[in-house]
A and B are shown apart, each in its own frame.
Chain A
Amino acid sequence: MGKALRRLWYLLRRQRMEADLEEEMAFHRAETARHLESEGITAGDAQLAASRVFGSGALARNRARDVWIRPWLQDLGQDTRFACRILRKELAFTAAVVLVLGAGIGVNTTQFTIVDAMCIRGLPIARADRVVYIRTRDAHDREHPLSYGDFEDLHGDARGLAGAAAFTAAPTVIAGDTQAPDRVIGVRISANGFCLLGVRPMLGRDFIPHDDTAGAPPVAVISYCLPVLCVLRGGLSNDQMKQFHD
């Protein structure tokens, strides 16, 4: 049995161990008194003398405990208990601290989640390093999205690119016959978008080129974890929307 195990054993059976120590020290005291008595000292005086010879029981107990539980650990426990008592007493202060800490940690976590997704993990697609994002720049060096005409040109004769897909933010409203309309973040994307990025739907089918023609029935892909809807041209019928919402 190693030292750490013996220490653990002591902690688990601490009461018993301390009782053992108490009993053996009482025995020591009694034996000392008996010895003094045999030397001719009266019983009462002998007990007193034995206590005196024996010294402080409390000191011995504390020192014995220090052997098993390091003093700094005992202090730590005491300090923690003290801190808890104070926090319980000063409720307003505690609430303020919890609020400030909560807000601080929350903001940091949110920030890290964004940084992690954008900078550390990158886009959740295969070969994210082969994907480029094309924008235009005006005379004032400000960035703008591509116009649809530019995109069609690029799409037509892009060399060095496996393909080009367009997307634009499109806040979308989901509504059912019986429920209030709900606004969700939506993105309009060209039919080849998911295919180009190598992303496959978990359920249903991906967009096909026919979906991208004028007058085609509206179709949508719903993201798994965020209320993001990728829609093509046109809106969806109420029935379809209800299906998605369920």
Chain B
Amino acid sequence: MGDAQELLPGTLDLLILKALARGAMHGYGIAQYLKALSEEVLQVGESSLYPALQRLLLNGWVTAEWGASANNRRARYYTLTAAGRKQLAAERREFDRLILAIRKVLNAT
């Protein structure tokens, strides 16, 4: 089970930012989204997801607002800010660079 603990450091923040790039989402929605797109490989626990969301709030990359969920319950929706969009691009570049470097090492003969 790929809990966020086992992800590369900072990767969860990147994934959340990416998920929110589509539009506002609540915590549960983000978890479901990551689980579905990763074909159940990424199952993000609350003890990782909610601290990460608080971190994004602190950095001003997302804002949170209460709204109604699909089944009409009160849910907290997160929205990407302009700074968050910039952060997503920067983190994505950094991630690609890192993966490329790791792959180079692993592919060495």
A23-B58 in contact (CB<8A): no
Query: B74 interface residue, CB < 8 Å from A?
Result: yes
Cα A54 to Cα B27 with chains together (Å):
12
Cα A110 to Cα B55 with chains together (Å):
51
Nearest-CB residue, chain B, relative to A21: B50
CB-CB < 8 A to A119: which residues of B?
Answer: none
B58-A24 in contact (CB<8A): no
CB-CB < 8 A to B76: which residues of A?
Answer: 20, 23-24, 27
Given contacts A20-B76, A55-B46, contact A28 B27 (CB under 8 A): yes
A57-B60 in contact (CB<8A): no
Query: A30 interface residue, CB < 8 Å from B?
Result: yes
Further pairs besides A24-B76, A57-B46: 11, Cβ < 8 Å = A3-B60, A20-B66, A24-B50, A30-B73, A54-B46, A55-B45, A55-B46, A56-B47, A60-B45, A64-B54, A68-B58
Interface size on B, residues (CB 8 A): 26
Interface size on A, residues (CB 8 A): 28
Cα A99 to Cα B103 with chains together (Å):
67
A25-B46 in contact (CB<8A): yes
Nearest-CB residue, chain A, relative to B55: A67
B26-A24 in contact (CB<8A): yes
* Shortest beta-carbon distance from B31 to chain A in Å: 7
Query: B57 interface residue, CB < 8 Å from A?
Result: yes
* Shortest beta-carbon distance from A61 to chain B in Å: 8
